[in-house]
Amino acid sequence: MNELVLIVLLLGSLFTISALLIWVERRLLGHWQERYGPNRVGPGGILQSAADAIKLLAKEDWTPPFADKPVFVLAPAVVVSAVLLSFAVVPFTPSLIVADLNIGLLFVFALSSLSAYSIVLAGWASNSKYALIGGLRGSAQMFSYEVFMGLSVMGVVMLAGSFRLRDIVEAQQDLWFCIPQMIGAGIFFIAALAETHRLPFDIPEAEAELVAGYHTEYSGMKFGMFFLGEYLGIVLMSSLTVILFLGGWQGPWLPPLVWFWLKTFMVIMVFFLIRATLPRPRFDQLITFGWTVLLPASLLNLLVTAIIILTNGHDAL
Amino acid sequence: MNPVISGLKALWRIFARLFKRPVTIEYPDQPLPVSSRWRGRIVLSRDPDGEERCVACYLCSVACPVDCIALQATEDAHGRRYPDWFRINFSRCIFCGYCEEACPTYAIQLVQDFEMSEYRRTSLVYEKDDLLISGTGKYPDYNFYRVAGVAIGGKDKGDAEREQPPVDVRSLLP
């Protein structure tokens, strides 16, 4: 019963946060480009997302006649549900956690692979060339970057000695893992950008080339689901970064939940800042960078971490 | 290493913009600064005595590249020419300012106002009542009939400012 209340609360707050994030991002991008951003709806424009949601709901929910209908409808639901399911194992505080799985990290990775399906299925079911190319790019990108993502956190898992996310946070009592696992943190962050296909890795939906990529044919609330999934994904990847490398809920004076969201928001800001700064690479550059730089770096990081742990024991780092 | 450093530099530079004032002018809430020579709505001005400056010479109408100015000349009891009616179709006007340049009496002037949107096209046709203002516009002291040699009722030839009385050319005859 207690868990049910928690789930409902979590669902409500996550939707609210991701809706607010859209507004926060647009305001921040505005100021970073020396303009204001949306500031008309409500105080400071805070209700902009609500207005957008009403607009999306009121729009015609059109399914193209050439689309593969059941898959077309299924795809946007997959991305949102996969991301939302991942939040089940995220420890916000020592007690605020829906399911404290002992394979928490693996569970998250499994579900983020599942959300790759939604891109492929959406691209395929739309039966349009831009959507198909976007879907192909998305699948290639997500599959290759998931490899480095998994490898980059293995150092953390070795140091903590557990896949359980709560144990990983508790292992960072003395030192956050972003210090000993500096390379791992960097690779994880880059892979997280690619995994949520945010700029500069928004190649599956590159507006300049592919209209809108895999969600070209989507409109109304189905498009809204993709949008929501993207922002939920940012929240998920930022909270994972905080849990794995920045000590999760730990911090002095303030309550754990406040610390967790404070750190998460900082990471989200960096996500937005990178979007505002860096241009999009070409697709082959992205894949080449992944396999020739990130893969060897993450393997080396893993190897060095393993050697140090084996020679000095667990408490060395 | 160079691209990484330049990337980090760019990140910092973009972040620092957060503390700068945006360059946006929130127009309907804030007034938009326009230059003093801005070419906006066209007006017909009056001379310092409060009489119409326009002498209905048709030069503006001729100079207009889009033919949006139409008028009809007439004359009052003092022999002063003025437009019977004067019509500018602002849905055609391109605000080039040629009419202002052509005008010999500084009557037609382009002012800074540009907020003249209308819901109906016919509302953009301005008649003389809409065009004529009570003031002198950009040239407060200029009065055409005071400096021109033309005779009207109450002012004969030679009465204008810096004007000599007319020479009787016949007196020079042998």
Question: Token match 């019509």: residue?
Answer: B87
Residues B81, A244: Cα–Cα separation, whole Å: 89
Residue A243 CB partners (closer than 8 Å, separation 6+): A90, A91, A165, A168, A169
Residue A94 reports pLDDT greater than 70:
yes
DSSP code for A163: S
Residues B10, B45: Cα–Cα separation, whole Å: 55
Say which residue, A96 or A34, is predicted with more confidence.
A34
| Positive/negative CA dihedral, B81, B82, B87, B88 | positive
Residues A84, A218: Cα–Cα separation, whole Å: 21
| Positive/negative CA dihedral, A96, A273, B19, A246 | positive
Return mean pLDDT, chain A: 84
Contact A32 B7 (CB under 8 A): no
From B11, which residue of chain A is nearest by alpha-carbon distance?
Answer: A277
Q: Which of A30, A36, A273 has the CB atom closest to B15's CB atom?
A: A273
Tokens representing A237? 């990847």
Contact A274 B11 (CB under 8 A): yes
From B16, which residue of chain A is nearest by alpha-carbon distance?
Answer: A32
DSSP code for B132: B
Residues A305, A310: Cα–Cα separation, whole Å: 9
The CA distance from B23 to the nearest CA of chain A, in Å, is 6
Residues B111, B97: Cα–Cα separation, whole Å: 10
What pLDDT, on the 0 to 100 scale, is given for residue A315? 58
A·B CB contacts under 8 A: 33
pTM exceeding the 0.80 threshold for the entire prediction: no
Calculate mean pLDDT across residues A111-124. 85
- Whether residue A200 is preceded by a cis peptide bond, meaning omega within 30 degrees of 0, is yes
Buried b / exposed e over A1-15, threshold 16 CB at 10 Å, is: eeeeebeeebeeebb
What pLDDT, on the 0 to 100 scale, is given for residue B109? 93
The CA distance from A241 to the nearest CA of chain B, in Å, is 19
From B25, which residue of chain A is nearest by alpha-carbon distance?
Answer: A35
Residue A274: list chain B partners with CB under 8 A.
Answer: 11
Residue A32: list chain B partners with CB under 8 A.
Answer: 14-15, 17-18
Amino acid making up residue A116: A
What pLDDT, on the 0 to 100 scale, is given for residue A175? 80
Mark residue A268 as left, alpha or beta (left: phi above 0; alpha: psi -120 to 50; beta: remaining): alpha
Interface of B with A in 4-43 (CB under 8 A): 7, 10-11, 14-15, 17-18, 20, 22-24, 26
From A35, which residue of chain B is nearest by alpha-carbon distance?
Answer: B22
Q: Are B128 and B83 in contact (CB under 8 A)?
A: yes
The CA distance from B32 to the nearest CA of chain A, in Å, is 16
SS3 state of residue B126 = strand
From B6, which residue of chain A is nearest by alpha-carbon distance?
Answer: A278
pLDDT tens string for chain B (174 positions)? 687 888 888 888 888 888 888 888 888 888 888 898 899 999 999 988 888 999 999 999 999 999 999 999 999 888 889 999 999 999 999 999 999 999 999 999 999 988 889 999 999 999 999 999 998 988 888 988 888 888 887 788 888 888 888 888 888 888
Residue A316 reports pLDDT greater than 60:
no
pLDDT digits (tens, 9 = 90+) for A225-275: 888 888 888 899 899 898 888 887 887 888 888 888 888 899 999 889 988
Q: Which residues pair with B69 in a beta bridge?
A: B88
Tokens representing A150? 């998994």
What pLDDT, on the 0 to 100 scale, is given for residue B91? 92
Contact A35 B24 (CB under 8 A): yes
From A277, which residue of chain B is nearest by alpha-carbon distance?
Answer: B11
What pLDDT, on the 0 to 100 scale, is given for residue A226? 85
Residues of chain A above pLDDT 70, percent = 98
What pLDDT, on the 0 to 100 scale, is given for residue A183? 85
Residue A144 reports pLDDT greater than 70:
yes
By the CB < 8 Å criterion, does B1 face chain A? Answer: no
Q: How far is CA A317 from the centre of its chain?
A: 28
Q: What is the pLDDT confidence band of residue A72, given thresholds at 50, 70 and 90?
A: confident
The CA distance from A7 to the nearest CA of chain B, in Å, is 36
Calculate mean pLDDT across residues A12-34. 88
Mark residue A17 as left, alpha or beta (left: phi above 0; alpha: psi -120 to 50; beta: remaining): alpha
Residues B120, A168: Cα–Cα separation, whole Å: 69
Tokens representing A196? 């949520």
Question: Token match 């424009």: residue?
Answer: A45
Residue B16: list chain A partners with CB under 8 A.
Answer: none
Contact A36 B22 (CB under 8 A): yes
Amino acid making up residue B167: V
Residues of chain A above pLDDT 90, percent = 1
CA angle A215, A217, A220 (to 5 degrees): 85
Contact B15 A35 (CB under 8 A): no
